[in-house]
Amino acid sequence: MARRALPKIDPRIDLSRHLSELSALGERFDPAAWFGRSAPLEVEVGSGKGLFLVRAASERPDHDFVGVELAKQYARTCGAKLAKAGLTNALMISGDGVRFSDEFLADDSVAAFHVYFPDPWWKARHRKRRVLNRRLLQAIESKLVVGGRLHFWTDVQEYFESTLELIPRVTTLLDGPHPVAEPQSTHDLDYRTHFERRTRLAELPVYRAEFVRLPGQVVRPLPADGHDDEADDSDARDSGDEPTGVDASEA
């Protein structure tokens, strides 16, 4: 399917409070300093065009939201949508979502992580590029507060099943998977992401799961065979201008 061109961004829109480069954050991201308050923080890895981020921030003004997107044009588009909507509780970061989650967030500081329709990297030799790798999953485990949740949706059954197998191998405090019922849509944009909309309108399945952070000390399990799992090579990230967490044509 041909990709739709992204809309042009009005140059008059001030993006300074809604878009930041990862490199501009310093050594750590301080959500209280950025948003000017202390509130539950939710992070979306791979925000694409920003449908989830805009809707979630609008519907839950008592929470703060951060989206991270590797593709700069998509990050700018999402930041512009946040600014145009006047959302003071949401920020778009242009950069690597795995690195942001692992290096820039404090432990026990995030109420929820969201990963929707990540690139499946179909070829076996490319699967080490999948965003849901050991580094990200262990970062999620460390950064979530007790009771915090990981939301994972995909339309690729193999990716879904392999991720559900990977999580208990590389983490010890993520309880799940907990089933997620398919939500009812009441209008044309009543979907979590654009990609969910396209998938469901095509009457194709969406695989959904939630994991809950348990209390306790994080313990890093060793691989049973002494080697890293196939999807664990987090250094093999895609360097092109493609969204890391969503389909480039829709999300």
State the catalytic residues. 119
Residue 108, Ramachandran bin (φ over 0: left; ψ between -120 and 50: alpha; else beta): left
Task: Evaluate whether 53 touches 90 at the Cβ level (below 8 Å).
Answer: yes
Q: What is the DSSP letter of 132?
A: S
Task: Evaluate whether 121 touches 84 at the Cβ level (below 8 Å).
Answer: no
Q: What is the DSSP string of 196-228?
A: HHHHHHTT---EEEEEEEPSS----PPPTTSS-
C-alpha 197/C-alpha 12 separation (Å) is 31
